[in-house]
Amino acid sequence: MLRLPVYMDNHATTRTDPRVVEAMLPFFTEKYGNPASRTHVFGWEAEEAVKQARQAVAALIGAGPREIIFTSGATESNNLALKGVAWAYRERGNHIVSVVTEHPSVLDPLKRLEQEGFRVTLLPVDRDGLISSDQVVDALTPQTILVSVMAANNEIGVLQPLEAIGKVCKERGVLFHTDATQAVGKIPLDVEALGVDLLSLSAHKFYGPKGVGALYVRKRNPYVRLMPLLDGGGHEQGLRSGTLPTPLIVGLGRACELAQAEMHDEAERVRSLRDRLWQGLSSRLDEVILNGHPTRRLPGNLNVSFRYIRADALLVSLRNLAVSSGSACTSAEVRPSHVLLALGLEEDLAHASVRFGIGRFNTEEEVDWAIEYVAEAVTKLRRMNPLYQMAHATPVEREA
């Protein structure tokens, strides 16, 4: 039975899986010790739970447990990776390469580093939102210390060629960071095969709790050095001081276990639902544009522009469907997404974009309902738009 409202904004956040919640609950009320307390059983239980979670995170991405540093989420992980490398390797060089379509949690720290005297090169993307390893090669200089390229884009879901980029970085002796927030738990990732030296992730993007994430930091070939953002206590090998949130870490670990066990089948199911949604919308409506690469994208991502409407007006009409717009709202204006503009989309199409995020708990029934619901809303808005009416009028109607 269909229950409203329907949630299809799984790139923004995901529902915490009940199995994750079940694993977390004892660590709030029964096993509530501090994992740094090593003189009693409460501390030992918490320490063991953290150890197991660390192993689960490491196993999901092909890393070693000691290479996992727990953080509050991907924003902190990205800041620690970028600033930590920049400060630690300042004597070696001052140049960082990234991509114009990165998440603000990468772009904003890079702006801060520029204020400190670092040089940043942001690579442009093609119409599908992709870069090439050749672009990275051309951007590298003797002063380059870090390349940061996201694994999967949070808006259009495109998957960057990490393995080819990692190979280039290894050949040049440059560290390689990827913001894998949207990719972890949804597609296979192996830091060794990809040549990744630092990787950011966040639990709430793949059915874990909010408020916890991790940074993978390579410990061999090469051993990556970082300067910490926080001082005080020396937790997490001195890279992230502060009492560990054991319940959240347990939740992250359980989310990783579930992802590793179910990722293949889940990706196929979610991809099928995504394709069903796209086929339904594109058959019901004209002038619907797919944003991003048609196949090289996350299984559950669908970003489309409905020409002749404004996405913000559409979202107001879709009160029973949780999706997101490609526009960023500020107090003064609604501006189109920097990602969509980087693809070369005209501003009107960027303003007309909607991101659907299909996830673990979505059903065929919800997808079929969403197709009809969105098509009806778009059609209604277009009827009120004289530009659409003019563009689709017959010659006789235009003369009249």
Which positions are catalytic? 329
Collect contacts of 389-394 with beta carbons under 8 A, ≥24 apart: 391/308, 392/286
CA separation for the pair 159, 176 (Å, rounded)? 16
**Measuring CA to CA, which residue among 204, 238, 242, 200 is closest to residue 217?**
200
Number of H helices, E strands in the chain: 15, 15
What is the rounded CA–CA span in Å between residue 60 and residue 77? 17
**SS3 call for 223:** strand
Q: Is residue 278 classed as helix, strand or coil in its secondary structure?
A: helix
Cβ pair 95, 143 in contact under 8 A: yes
Residue 94, C-beta contacts closer than 8 angstroms, at least 6 positions apart: 86, 117, 118, 119, 143, 145
Pairwise CA distance, residues 103 & 297, whole Å: 16
Compute the distance between CA of residue 308 and CA of residue 260 in angstroms, rounded to an integer. Answer: 42
Nearest alpha carbon to residue 345 among 100, 128, 106: 128
Instruction: Give the orientation angle of helix 104-115 with respect to helix 74-88, to 10 degrees.
Output: 30
User: To 5 degrees, how large is the angle CA 366–CA 7–CA 274?
Assistant: 55
State the alpha helices, DSSP H only, in 62-215: 74-88, 104-115, 133-139, 162-172, 191-194
Question: Going by C-beta distance under 8 Å and a sequence separation of 6 or more, which residues neighbour residue 84?
Answer: 226, 227, 228, 229, 239
Contacts of 267 (CB under 8 A, 6+ apart): 186, 187, 299
Measured torsion, CA atoms of residues 373, 378, 380, 386, in degrees rounded to the nearest 10: 180
Q: How far is it, in rounded angstroms, from Cα 32 to Cα 43?
A: 8
Q: Would the CA dihedral through 337, 343, 346, 348 be positive or negative?
A: negative
